[in-house]
Chains A and B, each alone.
Chain A
Amino acid sequence: MDFDDYLKGQLAKTDNNNQNLNLARQQYAESAIMALVEVAIIWLEKKEKIDSQTANIIRNSANIIDNLGKLFGWF
């Protein structure tokens, strides 16, 4: 392989790794919040701080991931 092509390929790889890392951070943060919100809801329900109806509202809330993500500075 020609040296210029090799260099281009290597630089493309580094860009790709960087993009993949950023994408992965965002995707995993979302999955992690979803998993943790579920744990938090179960705990709050058990301690009778919320009822099952509220638990479902929280579960199905569209804004929770965005809001919590922003809160913790992930997005």
Chain B
Amino acid sequence: MGIKEPNLTEDQFKLVQDELRTRVNERQFRVSIVGQTGVGKSSLINALFGTKLKTDPVKPCTKDIEEIPIETKQKNTLFFYDLPGIGESDEADEEYLQKYREHLQSSDVILWAIHADNRSVVFDLQSLKKIMEGYTQEQKAVLMSKLTFILTKADVLHPPSWIAAKIGNIVKFLPSPETNSTLEQKALYYQKTFIEPYGSLIVSKTYNDCNFSIQEDGFQCDRDLKLIYYKGYMNAEKFKSYQQQYPQYQKIFERLYDNYQVIPCSAVFRYNLNKLMLVILNKLGHEATIQFQKLIASDALDQIPFDQTENLCNLLVYDPKTKNTLFEFRRWLNVQKTKTTWF
């Protein structure tokens, strides 16, 4: 870009503005979420985009690819594709797989949801392999550059209990140290299983806010668009080594490293949603980034108003002998609400 001069006339500005508006509005924003029934796909989309997709804990969802146009809080339309686990469909033949692959290629965001309490990776691993088998190298790279693996329903991992940190009128849910350690270990395991094998296909992107410029294999800078690209999978060893070598760029390495982490989160507790959103943002293309800007709310995603927390905990201690409720979390919470201080 050359030297900037504030000499754009109203007519020139209007021309560009109209052209941009047309391009941006014409483009559909597509979010695909892959995962087996019951992993909490709809709840996650609702928590991320403020949508109101039906979440039914009893009835199983459809086994086919489902397109759901939804209006967000910001009155924009988002096309949400619910993609069941490959093995769940009765028609998991080549034609179905091909449809599945096409949907993923044309998506702006692909989330792969795995239940945090899942003990077996076979099902999801097989699904990923089947999808990859039908792709060219280039298509594989496109998929990997958009894909984010998530461990959903982290809130089901207890005991020990989660921590509700009350800060003024909001609550932030945090895992206990033990649960945090379990989640970290699980995320690392899934990372090694799902992401590392495809590491050579990955190109990670982040913004350049500090004149980043290093001569190392894999790094590339786009000075006009202020972007940094890293080709390959930045694992923990590489991350540490770069941090030690170039401490002034620590934040950039952190972002590149985070891009291909498996993200544990909870839609119910709104845990880690900001981090997930950041990782999604880092993977979007330019036109999609603009669509995305219109979709995400500016409010912090990982906090809940205190007065909305009463349905999130359901502990009730009951003595059948005396027929007495000894403790009920909801009742206790209501008492606390009347007090000025809590915790």
Contact = CB atoms under 8 A, between A and B. Distances in A.
Contact of B227 (A18, A20, A31): A31
Contacts of A33: 20, 290
Contacts of A40: 16, 19-20, 23
Nearest to B296: A25
Contact of B23 (A18, A39, A64): A39
A10 B209 CA distance: 25
Given A17-B275, A23-B209, A72-B290, A43 B177 contact: no
Contact of B286 (A6, A36, A63): A36
B122 interface: no
Interface residue tally of chain B, by bracket?
35 or more
B1 A60 contact: yes
B322 interface: no
Given A18-B302, A67-B13, A74-B293, A28 B207 contact: yes
B290 A27 contact: no
Contacts, number: 145
Contact of A21 (B167, B207, B278): B278
A60 B287 contact: no
A25 B281 CA distance: 8
Interface in A35-75: 35-37, 39-41, 43-44, 49-50, 54, 56-64, 67-68, 71-74
Interface of B: 1-8, 12-13, 15-17, 19-20, 23-24, 163, 165, 167, 172, 174-175, 177, 180, 207, 209, 224-227, 255, 272, 274-275, 277-278, 281-282, 284, 286-287, 289-290, 293-294, 296, 298, 300-303
